Amino acid sequence: MAEICQPQTKPSLAKRLRQAARRAAGAALGVLGFLALWGGLVALLKYPPFILPGPGRVWSRFLVAVADGSLWYHTSLTLFEIFAGLLLGVSVATLLGYIIAKSPTLDRLLSPYIVAAQAVPIVALAPLLVIWFGFGSVSKILVCALTLFLPVLINTAVGIRSVDRNLRELMRSLGASRWQTFRMLEVPAALPVLFGGLKIGATLSVIGAVVGEFVGADRGLGFLINLARGLFDTPLLFVALFTLVAIALSLYGAISLVEAALLRHR
């Protein structure tokens, strides 16, 4: 009983640094193991470079793409589409998710249409968006927003509904306004679930941007992948793929850091 009643103490700075170092070492070992396996397969199978290039050849192609500016050009355009799609999709999905959570009538009315719209594969919707909005960034931004829309909406609604009814009654008995209830009760309660939806949505937005660029674009990493495929420049294709992976991991990590900072007192 005495152990249970003892106050919980935060881990020391040295302990947190050791944990971070262990995670970094584990990630580094994983990357080294992947590179070793990849190099071993190339040496064993002896495929030509246009089928399966080795890590060294891909690295050399990466340096060339960085030196001539093409990689940054296409990456910056894809990043713009991803961030704009995230902003649009998260804003609309969060607002609609909150409204649905607060209104069972709207939930019953809108949910079938939302699910039906999300049941259509984004690969099938992307050509229509390109036809309607052109080959520019607008169609790609819309594809990103639609790709991440449903996970963020569902997580927002679930997070708002997860607020304890007794806590709502307590806030009401204390005379709290709707804004105070929203700011002091609903938002803190929904944040953990909402961040889960944001992390899923961030990775899906990368897929959405590439799908949109596959369908119709003259720039972006999706276009670069199509170009490399047509030229049988497989090392460049690998460079574009790894860049997309780096973007997705960076977005996921950034959202996780914000989540840890906001929820550290919970």
- What is the structure's pLDDT at 82? 93
- What is the structure's pLDDT at 80? 94
- What is the structure's pLDDT at 230? 87
Please give the share of the chain, as a percent, with pLDDT higher than 90. Answer: 20
* Residue 29, domain member (yes or no): no
* Residue 64, domain member (yes or no): yes
Residue 225 structure tokens = 């992948």
pLDDT in tens, 163-209: 777 777 777 777 777 777 777 777 787 888 888 888 888 888 899 88
* Residue 14, domain member (yes or no): no
* Residue 20, domain member (yes or no): no
- Of the given ranges (12-26, 35-49, 100-114, 117-131), which has the lowest mean pLDDT? 12-26
pLDDT in tens, 211-227: 888 887 788 899 999 99
* Residue 135, domain member (yes or no): yes
- Of the given ranges (58-72, 76-90, 149-163), which has the lowest mean pLDDT? 149-163
CA distance 60 to 45: 21
Q: What is the CATH number of the domain that holds 89?
A: 1.10.3720.10
In total, how many domains does the chain have?
A: 1
* Residue 130, domain member (yes or no): yes
Residue 43 structure tokens = 């040496």
Q: 176 CB contacts (<8 Å, ≥6 apart)?
A: 184, 185
Q: Are 234 and 228 in contact (CB under 8 A)?
A: yes
Coil vs helix vs strand at 26: helix
* Residue 27, domain member (yes or no): no
Segments forming the whole domain that contains residue 230? 57-262
* Residue 42, domain member (yes or no): no
The pLDDT confidence band at residue 2, using thresholds 50, 70 and 90, is: very low
CA distance 247 to 144: 14
